[in-house]
Amino acid sequence: MARRHEQTGFLRAWAFALGVMSSMASAAIVEHIFNVENATVRKLCHDRVITAVNGALPGPTIQVTEGDTLVVYVFNKSPYNVTIHWHGVLQLLSGWADGPNYFTQCPIRPGHSYIQKFTITKQEGTLWWHAHVSLLRATVYGALIIRPKSGHYPFPTPHKEFPIILGEWWNGNVIDMQNQAQALGVPPANSDAYTINGRPGDLYPCSRKHTYKLKVVQRRIYMLRIINAALNNQLFFKIANHKFTVVAVDASYTNPYVTDVVVLAPGHTVDVLLTTDQTPGAYYMAARPYVSAQNAPPPNNTATTGILIYDKLHYTSPIMPLLPALNDTPTAHKFSSSLTSLVGSPNWLPVPTKVDEQMFVTIGLSLSPCGSTATCKAIPNIPSLRLSANMNNASFQVPTRLSLLQAHYFNVKGIYTPDFPDQPPLKFDYTNPANSNNTAFAFAPQSTRVKQVKYNATVEIVFQDTTIIGAENHPMHLHGYNFHVVGQGFGNFEPVKDRKKFNLFNPVIRNTIGVPVGGWAAIRFQANNPGVWILHCHLDSHLTMGLATAFVVENGPTPSSTLPPPPPDLPQC
């Protein structure tokens, strides 16, 4: 349920309690009610109870204009703890609304509610929202579309726009699946299907009648707002016989880039222009995984499909695109490394040239003890170990007594330590394949260590993938900020040689970067948003295993650079 400008008496009372002021002439208050509740759906020949928002999969698409204030009334009517995260929203001075579980808030318990209120500032484009507790984002997600205040795009105005949300589907209960995986010390099982706008498509059983269909007219330009809402899979996306022009990623404009394949890590959004210049007919759109992980179980290599239909034609057999191989790293890397930002476009910022905080962060899998209650099966013949993940050999342990942001704001000791290392404790040949068999490198202690930085400091991070246990492309997502991707490549990062190749003119601006498998990626951002901001791998299994940390950004010198107090209804632990 959404409401713009006008309010019911019930919503008006809540808005008044929040101190919501009347909107300015150029902005509006956009309100939504999110009822997070169980719903029964039928897919792949099975009836299944899922957790969803307002009974829909995907959940409601939220449309706002830059400058609007979004107020979302979240009622948790499900049997599980819930939080809602607004993926990619900068949350300037509104970190209490960001949503990651135990980072900026404690979860919304069953039967409780929370009002998330924030202003969309200096952003336009495609973002999305999703649950940030457990694996609930498998079914709790939806699009967030931010329209330009000017009413104009820096590219041809499309005839129509369509959100294309890619996801995953499990026939089982995802919470039960995660609990079992944690008990065994292994990642969760692979999904049973991939989806386009919640629908598996023709190639899956009992799905033909419910395939997503996109109806178009010949010789028109359409915008597809593509979102990867999958939990654990990067995805290739194609439409048979058609090319795309990429015009934005992660709500940041790009120089137009023509391609016949789009590659998205979990969390990525890509806006493309599609020209319907082919012979009228029916064409499959399809997505299948890009699998970079080494020494991993075989993936689900099926494909989800939708159908692009010209001019309301009846069709019998749509044309199928030739999808890349599952392990086609060259295609994935070409796409990500070819994108550049559109200099001078709305909200574009130049690359910071003076670096105050320089970090070199190794990322990858590791091992940790099972604990007294677990029955681990991660390592054959060694039942006392579980798979974990780490950054600079620190495997993040999520607090449960208080959120990090509360601990920071109220200066509560004992929740975290501000000593996350800027360098790994040991230097070695990070991408040597022999590391996968060397358990001496594999143990990473659990801790709740964060990085504390001064307000307005410029931070540079070089992420270095490692081959411990096995190399993998890791999508690293930073909350509260966009960043410039100044460089990326394969092998070990070599500071002298690789820094000379940094793009300091027009690097792509993102909120999530896929660090190349067996390689590195360098980012820069200016810490001008006080609060606590999680940095984590957006493969959900790796986040739960500890591939995360957080930036504690101190207040600035003025009220306009100071984090305000928490709202009165902030969920408590």
* Complete DSSP assignment for 370-385: --TT----SSTT-TTE
The partner residues of 474 in beta bridges, in order of sequence, read 515
% the chain with pLDDT above 90 = 82
Whether 306 has a pLDDT exceeding 60, the answer reads yes
Check residue 378 and give its pLDDT.
61
- Predicted pLDDT at 382: 60
User: For the chain, first and last CA: distance in Å?
Assistant: 28
For 472, how many CA atoms within 13 A lie in the half-sphere containing its CB? 29
Q: Do domains 153-338 and 357-561 have the same CATH topology?
A: yes
> Is 70 exceeded by the pLDDT of residue 84?
yes
Segment 483-508, tens digit of pLDDT: 999 999 999 999 999 999 999 999 99
Q: How far apart are CA 485 and CA 351, in angstroms?
A: 9
Predicted TM-score (pTM) of the model is 0.94
Over residues 477-486, the pLDDT tens digits come to: 999 999 999 9
Q: What are phi and psi of 221, to 5 degrees?
A: -110, 125
Q: What is the pLDDT of residue 11?
A: 41
* The pair of three-digit structure tokens given for residue 164, joined into one six-digit string: 């294309």
Domain-wise residue ranges, the chain: 25-150, 153-338, 357-561
- What are 553's two structure tokens? 């950004």
Residues in CB range of 308: below 8 A, 6 or more apart: 214, 216, 239, 240, 242, 282, 283, 284, 285, 318
Q: Report the distance separating Cα 294 and Cα 469, nearest Å.
A: 8
Write the DSSP string, 70-113. EEEEEEE-SSS-B-EEEET---TT-GGGS--BTTTB--B-TT-E
Residues 6 or more apart in contact with residue 408 via CB below 8 angstroms: 531, 532, 552
Q: What is the pLDDT of residue 379?
A: 63
Close Cβ partners of 544 (under 8 Å, ≥ 6 residues apart): 134, 178, 182
What's residue 25's pLDDT?
Answer: 43
Distance CA(478)–CA(392), nearest Å, equals: 17
Show the tokens assigned to 122. 């200096």
At 514 the three-state DSSP class reads: strand
CATH of domain 357-561: 2.60.40.420
Q: Specify the pLDDT at position 370.
A: 82
DSSP state of 330: H
Phi, psi of 453 (to 5 degrees): -135, 155
- Whole-number Cα distances in Å, 219 to 2, 225, 277: 34, 19, 5
Question: How confident is the model at residue 494, as a pLDDT?
Answer: 98
Alpha-carbon distance 256 to 248, whole Å? 8
Are the C-beta atoms of 212 and 199 separated by less than 8 Å? yes
The answer to whether 253 and 341 are in contact (CB under 8 A) is: yes
| Residues 318 and 208: beta-carbon distance below 8 Å | no
Paired tokens of 333: 């890397």
Q: Residue 501 half-sphere exposure, CB side, CA atoms within 13 Å?
A: 12
Give the span between the Cα atoms of 288 and 286, in whole angstroms: 7
Query: Regarding the domain delimited by 25-150, which CATH topology (the fold level of the hierarchy) does it fall under?
Result: Immunoglobulin-like (2.60.40)
Angle at alpha carbon of residue 123, lines to 117 and 126, rounded to 5°: 90
How far is it, in rounded angstroms, from Cα 267 to Cα 130? 10
339 SS3 class: coil
312-371 pLDDT per residue, tens: 777 778 999 999 999 999 999 999 999 999 999 999 999 999 999 999 999 999 988 887
Residue 330: which of 471, 501, 506, 517 has the closest Cα?
A: 517
Q: ∠ CA(13), CA(19), CA(21), 5° rounding?
A: 100
Torsions phi, psi for 11 (to 5 deg): -70, -35
Identity of the amino acid at 420: F
Quote the CA–CA distance of 398 and 446 in Å, as a whole number. Answer: 9
CATH architecture of 153-338: Sandwich (2.60)
Pairing of strands 2-4, 29-43: antiparallel
pLDDT band, very low/low/confident/very high, at 13 (cuts 50, 70, 90): very low
Average pLDDT estimate for 286-302? 84
Query: What Rg, from alpha-carbon coordinates, does the chain have?
Result: 23
Pairing of strands 483-490, 509-510: antiparallel
| Cβ-based neighbours of 286, under 8 Å, separated by 6 or more | 201, 237, 238, 239, 240, 303, 304, 305, 306, 320, 321, 323
Higher pLDDT, 381 or 81: 81
State residue 23's pLDDT score.
38
Cα 231 from Cα 174, distance rounded (Å): 11
Other beta carbons within 10 angstroms of residue 315's beta carbon come to 14
For residues 415-427, give the mean pLDDT: 97
| Residue 21 confidence (pLDDT) | 35
292 in helix, strand or coil? coil
Q: What is the DSSP letter of 564?
A: P
Exposure on the CB side of residue 450, measured as CA atoms within 13 A: 25
Average pLDDT, the chain: 92
Strand duo 451-453 + 512-515: pairing? unpaired
At 18, is the pLDDT very low, low, confident or very high (cuts 50, 70, 90)? Answer: very low
Find out whether 292 and 234 touch, Cβ atoms under 8 Å.
yes
Amino acid at 273: L
Contact present, 366 and 393 (Cβ < 8 Å): yes
